[in-house]
Structure 1
Amino acid sequence: MPYRAPVSDITFCLDHVVGFDRVTAHDRFAEATGDVVTAILTEAGRICEDVIAPLNRAGDLHPAKLENGVVRTSPGYGDGYHALAEAGFMAISADPEYGGLGLPHTITTAVNEMIGGACLALELSPLMTQGQIEALEHHAPDAIKDLYLPKLTSGEWSGTMNLTEPQAGSDVGALTTKAVDNGDGTYAVSGQKIYISWGDNDFTENVVHLVLARLPDAPAGTKGISLFLVPKKIPDADGNPGVANSLKVVSLEHKLGLHGSPTCVMQYDNATGWLIGQENKGMAAMFTMMNNARLGVAVQGVSVADAAYQHALAYAVERKQGRTKGETGTIIDHADVRRMLMEMKAETFAARAMALDLAVAIDLATTGDGAADARAAFLTPIAKAYGTETGIKVANIGIQIHGGMGYIEETGAAQYARDVRVAAIYEGTNGIQAMDLVGRKLMDGGDAAFALLDEVEAAGGEFADVIRPMAKALRKTTEDILALDMEDRFGGAVPYLMAFARVLGAHYHAKAAATGDKARKAMAQYHITRLLPEAHAMMAQARCGSAGLHDLTPDELAA
Structure 2
Amino acid sequence: MPSYTAPVKDSRFILEQVLGMEALAARIPAFAGATPDVVGAVLEEAGRFAAERLLPLNRTGDVQGCTRQSDGSVTTPDGFREAYAAMIAGGWTTLGSPEAFGGQGLPAMVSAAANEYLNSANHSFAMYSGLTEGAVEAILAVGTAAQKALYVPPMVAGRWTGTMNLTEPQCGTDLGLIRTRAEPQADGSHSITGTKIFISAGEHDLTENIVHLVLARTPGAPVGSKGISLFIVPKFLVQADGTPGARNAVSCGALERKMGIHGNATCVMNYDGATGWLLGEEHKGLAAMFIMMNAARLWVGLQGLSQAEIAYQNAALYATERRQGRALTGAAEPDQPADPLIVHPDVRRMLMEGKALTEGLRALCLWGALQADLAHHGDSDKERQDAADLLSLLTPVIKGYGTDQGFHVTVIAQQIWGGHGYIAENGLEQYVRDARIAMIYEGANGVQAMDLVGRKLPQNGGRAVQLLFATIAAEVAEARGRGGTLVPLADALEKATGQMQAATLWLMQNGLTRPDNAGAAATAYMQLTGIVALGLMWLRMASAAATLAEAGGGDAAFLSAKGVTARFFAERMMPRAGALRREIEGGADALMALPAEAFLPGG
- Please say whether Structure 1 and Structure 2 have the same fold, judged by a TM-score greater than 0.5: yes
Deviation at 1:42, TM superposition (A): 1.4
Q: Which deviations, in whole Å up to 9, do the C-alpha atoms of 1:5-39 show, x marking residues without a partner?
A: 11111111112333444643311222222222112
Where in structure 2 are the equivalents of 1:486-505 lying within 5 Å? 486-505=515-534
Matched, 1:468 2:494: yes
Structure 2 residue 323 is the aligned partner of structure 1 residue 320: yes
Letter in 1 for 2:81: G
Which residue in the other structure is 1:399 paired with? 414
Residues 86-485 of structure 1 correspond to what in structure 2 (within 5 A)? 86-324=89-327, 325-327=331-333, 329-367=339-377, 368=381, 369-443=384-458, 444-458=460-474, 459=476, 460=479, 461-462=486-487, 463-484=489-510, 485=512
Conserved in 1, the CA contact under 8 Å of 2:502 and 2:581? Answer: no
Residues 302 and 387 in structure 1, CA contact (< 8 A), matched pair in contact too: yes
Residues 22/379 of structure 1: CA separation in 2 closer, same or farther (3 Å cut): farther
List alignment gaps of at least 5 residues for structure 1: none
For residues 222 and 426 of structure 2, what CA distance do their matches in structure 1 show?
53
Identity of aligned residues (%): 43
Question: In structure 1, the residue corresponding to 2:282 is in which secondary structure?
Answer: coil
Displacement after TM superposition at 1:392 (Å): 0.6
Of the structure 1 ranges 182-191 and 314-323, higher mean CA displacement relative to structure 2 is found in: 314-323
Between stretches 159-168 and 482-491, larger displacement belongs to 482-491
* Distance in 2 separating the partners of 1:143 and 1:326: 69
**What CA distance in whole angstroms lies between the structure 2 residues aligned with 1:89 and 1:238?**
25
| Paired residues of 2:499 and 2:577 also in contact (CA < 8 A) | no
Is structure 2 residue 578 aligned with structure 1 residue 545? Answer: no
My pick for the range that moved more, 435-444 or 156-165, is: 435-444
The answer to whether the Cα contact below 8 Å between 1:446 and 1:482 also exists between their aligned partners in 2 is no
For the structure 1 residues 490 and 258, does the alpha-carbon distance in structure 2 shift closer, same or farther, using more than 3 Å as the test? same
**Paired letter, 1:531:** M
User: 2-side partners of 1:21 and 1:455: how far apart?
Assistant: 21
Letter in 2 for 1:496: Y
* Equivalent AA in structure 1 for residue 318 of structure 2: Y
Residue in 2 that maps onto 1:65: 67
Inter-CA distance 391–186: structure 2 relative to 1 (3 Å threshold):
same
Pairing 1:509–2:524 present: no
The equivalent residue for 1:41 is 43
Judge conservation of contact 2:127–2:200 (CA < 8 Å) in 1.
yes
Alignment partner, residue 28 of structure 1: 30
C-alpha contact 2:135 2:162 (8 A) present in aligned 1: yes
Is 2:539 aligned against 1:536?
no
Q: Could you tell me which amino acid in structure 1 is paired with residue 423 of structure 2?
A: I
Query: 1:258-307, CA deviations, whole angstroms, 9 ceiling, x for partnerless residues?
Result: 00000000000000011100101111111111110010000000000000
- CA distance in 2 between partners of 1:467 and 1:140 (Å): 44
The superposition leaves residues 71-130 of structure 1 with CA deviations (integer Å, 9 ceiling, x where unpaired) of: 010111112222222222213221211111122111121111110001000111121111
Q: Which amino acid aligns with 1:46?
A: R
Q: Distance in 1 between matches of 2:496 and 2:198?
A: 40
- Provide the C-alpha distance between the structure 2 equivalents of 1:136 and 1:23, rounded to a whole number of angstroms: 28
With over 3 angstroms needed to count, the CA separation of the structure-2 counterparts of 1:102 and 1:126, relative to structure 1, is same
Whether 1:523 aligns to 2:578 is no
Length, aligned pairs only = 559
Distance (Å, rounded) in 1 between the aligned partners of 2:19 and 2:67: 42
Aligned 8 A contact 1:20 1:360 in 2: no
Partner-residue secondary structure (3-state), 2:526: helix
SS in 1 for 2:321: coil
Q: Which amino acid aligns with 2:141?
A: H
Q: Aligned partners of 1:313 and 1:44: how far apart in 2?
A: 23
In the alignment, is the contact (CA less than 8 A) between 1:457 and 1:472 conserved in 2? no
Secondary structure of 1:522 counterpart: helix
CA contact (8 A) 1:16 1:511 kept: no
Amino acid at match of 1:455: T
Q: What CA distance in whole angstroms lies between the structure 1 residues aligned with 2:424 and 2:177?
A: 39
Amino acid at match of 2:187: D
* Secondary structure, aligned partner of 1:208: strand
Q: What is the rounded CA distance, in whole Å, between the counterparts of 2:96 and 2:413 in structure 1?
A: 34
**How far apart are the structure 2 equivalents of 1:203 and 1:550?**
49
Q: Runs of 5+ in structure 2 lacking a partner? A: 480-485, 547-558
Q: Distance in 2 between matches of 1:177 and 1:504?
A: 40
Cα separation, 2, equivalents of 1:179 and 1:294 = 27
Matched residues in 1 for 2:257 and 2:20: separation? 42
SS of residue matched to 1:216: coil
Cα displacement (A) at 1:408: 1.2
Q: Confirm or deny: 8 A CA contact 1:91 1:130 kept in the other structure.
A: no
Secondary structure of the structure 1 residue equivalent to 2:566: helix
Q: Distance in 2 between matches of 1:22 and 1:501?
A: 27
For residues 440 and 23 of structure 1, do their structure 2 counterparts lie closer, same or farther at Cα, with a shift above 3 Å needed?
farther
**How big is the alpha-carbon RMSD for the aligned residues of Structure 1 and Structure 2?**
1.3
Give the drift of 1:472: 2.1
Paired with 1:218 and 1:556, the residues of 2 have a C-alpha distance of: 40
Between the aligned partners of 2:20 and 2:396, the Cα distance in structure 1 is 21
Which amino acid counterpart does residue 350 of structure 2 have in structure 1? M
CA contact (8 A) 1:445 1:482 kept: no
Structure 2 Cα separation of the partners of residues 232 and 474 of structure 1: 48
Distance 1:192 1:27 in 2: 45
